[in-house]
A and B are shown apart, each in its own frame.
Chain A
Amino acid sequence: MRRVLIANRAEIATRVIRTCHKLGIETVSIYSEEDKNLPFASESTYSVCLGSGTVTETYINKSKIVEICKELDVDAIHPGYGFLSENSEFAELLEKNNITFIGPSAKNILLMGDKLESKNFVKSLGLPVVPGYEGDDQSNEKLVQEAKKIGFPVLIKASSGGGGKGMKIVREESDFLEQLSFAKSEALKFFGNDRVILEKYVLNPRHIEVQVLGDGQGNGVHLFERECSIQRRYQKVIEETPSKALDDKLRKDICNTAVNLVKGLNYKGAGTVEMILDSDKNYYFLEMNTRLQVEHGISEMITGVDLVEEQIRIARGDGLTYKQDEIRANGHSFECRVYAEDPENNFMPQSGLVENMGETIDPTVRIDTGYINGNIVGINYDPMIAKILTHDSSRESNLLKMKEALKDLPFLGVKNNRDFMIKVLEHPKFVSGDYHTHSLDSWMENLNIERKNVDIAFAAFSFVQSSKKKKSNTLEIVDPWSEGSSEWLG
């Protein structure tokens, strides 16, 4: 493998380029016209502009990408996450064109991408899935009987649904039939089909996922868990490893469950097995992501393993570098995701200029970002600007380290959630590690942004502004303390 094309953009493209070059592999970046000034577009050995247009015309334009691979004699494609990373047709297309896809087989992508099929497969391996009913008998009698078997609270979901439409939580048996009729009529309205499935409603669930690697020959290892329960609108905000919710025994069980799935699939490459953990410490398979995850970095920090390097080694047939007992977890790692959004205006996505990211004085802080000062965060792509990662010996010390890191990395310019994340880190329940996937929403009223340093802000303005005035006379702002303009300070 001499030359790899990265079919992605921004921070993950930069991340993959870094490891490729470390391994002596040349890189090709592809970028849209809008992204031409982002670092990834020119950090690679070769760059190809995809022109302007929608994502379909650019980053996920399969035939165009294959064409570029042929022109530039590319051996392999790294898809990053999102875009074409879980697209089985793309994996097949590459195979036909003799280009290595740095990822699992098309068959595994397809199987794990299907909610029902993946659940059935996991069940067939004897691994735990959320108890439920997906049968053809949709009569009220049968559904009541199955709901009782599952145990209340029960979730009724439209079988062809998504996004919460036609979804009802039923807490007691006496409410079941009424809620069932609501769910069915909503399902019919939104999806043209009133078929429902039943699922155990997991109270206060924690999102625990396991990082795995497989060699495609039935061997697999795990790189421990990641706790990703700090979410807002199903979007992860802060992740950590190890999870406070697991003891050694449970950790071993969950991680082994994930490895058994990897082995059962003959899985090739890096993947993530997502589980939910209930308050009684029962865990269930949720889904498998057949790609590198956004939050993979915290696993790298505690294990010292470069996951992109492992993906490349596996794809070129080197097999697994590490045996399970050679992978050890050391210390604690946090990741905070900086999003271009306005926490004071319902987290509305924002666009704008990255004016001053700041700089950390701690060399152990890892900043994965696709931007540099002067770049524009546009409206057409993901609002994530950066991931800040820290590692330290304990969760306690690491929490302080992360707070300091965030204070030094304000990403001034485009509005973002940096201040908000500091408030989350300070929340007593976050400090104690006692949280689940609904916690962030319930903490919201205690996470208001505070501004206690207005005087210092004004003083800073006066110093910054006065020196600007000396350098340039073209400033439009009136110098507030120059003669004749002091009246408005009244």
Chain B
Amino acid sequence: MNVLINNEEFTASNFNSNKNTVSFNDKSIKLLKKTDKFIILNSNGKNEKVYYSYNKDKNEYSFSINGETYSLGLGLKSNRGSAQQGENIILSPMPGKIFKILKKNGDQVQQGETLLILEAMKMEHALKAGVSGIVSKLDFNISDQVEADQLLVEIIEKNND
């Protein structure tokens, strides 16, 4: 298990805590005040007001510290946006509705061709083929609701051999 802060692994060495103080990585941070909306910490003699919230569904904490927002979760690093995703896999970049479907399963498409259009918050977002190949797994109808990161299309690449 790792703590992920904004999807970056964070390691706390020599962690120690008692009632109102935590220490790790040669730092010591004190808790001064706590309400249901914010806490006040003291680090290096300086007070810092930290707003916080917890999202049960995502199992994720959010913090606002001096104008910077942090999200902190446990578990595996999300693959979102990383190379592992594969250019032949089209995931929904945001929650939305299928607005237009331009290709169907079995269609031959070229890299860069628009496959379908997603609509969210009055914006249309064209999803394009990352590689050339045959369209598959495009099993949606117009107006279907999709979640962020949901698989929308898989392109089966042509074998050039």
Contacts and interface: CB of A to CB of B under 8 A. Distances in A.
A462 B3 CA distance: 11
B133 interface: no
Contacts, number: 162
A203 to B, nearest CB: 29
Interface in B43-65: 43, 48-55, 59, 61-65
Interface stretch (A44-52, A143-151, A167-175, A404-412): A404-412
Nearest to A423: B67
A454 B27 CA distance: 12
Contact of B123 (A349, A358, A410, A449): A349
Contacts of B29: 455-456, 459
Nearest to B121: A349
A349 B95 CA distance: 9
B66 interface: yes
Interface string A448-490: 0111111111111111111110000000111011000010111
Contact of A486 (B15, B22, B37, B59): B15
B68 interface: yes
Interface in B10-49: 10-13, 15-17, 22, 24-25, 27, 29, 31, 34, 37-39, 41, 43, 48-49
Interface stretch (A100-108, A121-129, A375-383): A375-383
B13 A490 contact: yes
Contact of B72 (A349, A356, A461): A461
B52 A477 contact: no
Interface residues of B, number: 56
A459 B53 contact: no
B154 to A, nearest CB: 22
A459 B22 contact: yes
Contacts of B59: 476-477
B52 A460 contact: yes
A456 B61 CA distance: 13
Given A459-B41, A460-B39, A460-B41, A452 B61 contact: no
B6 interface: yes
A460 B74 contact: no
Contacts of A345: 81, 93
B37 A358 contact: yes
A71 B72 CA distance: 51
B22 A488 contact: no
Contact of A356 (B43, B53, B70): B53
A456 B50 contact: yes
Contacts of A359: 37
19 contacts: A349-B120, A349-B121, A355-B53, A358-B38, A412-B69, A419-B67, A452-B68, A453-B65, A455-B24, A455-B29, A455-B43, A456-B29, A456-B65, A457-B50, A481-B17, A489-B11, A489-B12, A489-B15, A489-B24
Given A413-B62, A458-B24, 9 more contacts: A349-B94, A353-B55, A355-B55, A407-B67, A408-B51, A412-B51, A456-B43, A456-B48, A481-B15
Interface of A: 340, 345, 348-351, 353, 355-356, 358-359, 379-383, 403, 406-408, 410, 412-413, 418-419, 422, 449-468, 476-478, 480-481, 486, 488-490
Interface of B: 1-3, 5-6, 10-13, 15-17, 22, 24-25, 27, 29, 31, 34, 37-39, 41, 43, 48-55, 59, 61-70, 72, 74, 81, 93-97, 120-123, 125
